[in-house]
Chains A and B, each alone.
Chain A
Amino acid sequence: MASLSLLLATFLASAVEAVEAFTIVLAVGVTRGWRSTLWGVAAASLALAVVVAVLGPAVTSIPIQWLRIVVGGLLLVFGLQWLRKAILRASGYKPLHDEEAAFEEERAAAGAVGRTGSGLDPYAFTVAFKGVLLEGLEVAFIVVTFGANHGNIPLAAAGAVAAVAVVLIAGVVVRAPLAAVPENTMKFAVGLLLTTFGTFWATEGAGASWPGGDAALLGLLAMYTVVSLLLVRLLARGRGAAVAA
């Protein structure tokens, strides 16, 4: 159950971020050319691999109780950020993420900047590098924290790599922004999983024992799902009343 959740969380988080990074890369590549764009992608991928390779062993060398309390706490704060934004989106307080709009915006920005010579295009390289690095850092954080607490960083990394591969294949086939991917629902699910595991590990790190052991994870996930859906309903109703008034 825990291994499956680990794979699911890293796969979903990575897929969502990969879709966003793919939109940026596609817009820049189509507008500015692929050579410099792909160099930017390669450099960012290398930087992310170094981050995971350095942070992974550093985090796993922390004693288990401190690892759970510190990393569980960080994961919980981070997961609550995702969940909070997902609830605000679902209730209409924040606009839903729209890949086609993001693509058009990125393409317009890339087209507005002049070119310098026939060598490496600094704009294409930098935007692709920054896009992949920033989206990828969230995934790297989830892979390292989830993997370390679960004692299996390679499994967490495998989930993330599989998601990137799926998104890449879909992107190459479709040759357009992956607007049909239910990104907002996936972000909701990732927020719930991160919050559930963050709560579980931080509480264990504080020394407390869960009634039912690992089975408490299911109870936590169900409780957070129900509460989050209830909050979406309450907020949406409040927003509807405010708009009508």
Chain B
Amino acid sequence: MRGLGRFLYDFVVGDDPLVAVLVVAAIAAAWLLDRAGVEAWWVVPAAVIAALALSLRRAARTS
């Protein structure tokens, strides 16, 4: 069971969990903003670019 969990984690999340955390936070933020009546379509794309840049910076620093 633990092996399967590990496999699924590696399969979806991969090398950098920060990306997954930021994506989930962005989707939640978009949902909350939309409920509050605020335009929220820009939230996820902005978070994607930020997550990608941050994750690549971390990878470049450690290699």
Contact = CB atoms under 8 A, between A and B. Distances in A.
B interface: dominant SS: helix
A74 B48 CA distance: 13
A73 B33 CA distance: 17
Nearest to B53: A231
Interface string B23-63: 11001101101110001110111001101110110011001
B23 A223 contact: no
A205 B27 contact: yes
Interface string A122-161: 0000000000000001100100000000000000000000
A228 B48 CA distance: 11
Given A203-B44, A207-B40, A210-B41, A93 B55 contact: no
Interface residues of A, number: 39
A87 B56 contact: yes
A235 B56 contact: yes
B7 to A, nearest CB: 9
A181 to B, nearest CB: 23
Contacts, number: 101
Contacts of A77: 12-13, 19-20, 23
Given A73-B23, A80-B19, A206 B48 contact: no
A63 to B, nearest CB: 15
A81 B56 contact: no
Contact of B45 (A137, A220, A238): A220
A211 B23 contact: no
Given A80-B19, A203-B40, A93 B45 contact: no
Nearest to B32: A206
B11 to A, nearest CB: 7
Contact of B44 (A93, A141, A206): A206
Contacts of B63: 93-94
A77 B9 CA distance: 11
A35 interface: no
B55 A84 contact: yes
B56 A199 contact: no
Contact of A208 (B12, B41, B60): B41
Interface of B: 11-16, 19-20, 23-24, 27-28, 30-31, 33-35, 39-41, 43-45, 48-49, 51-53, 55-56, 59-60, 63
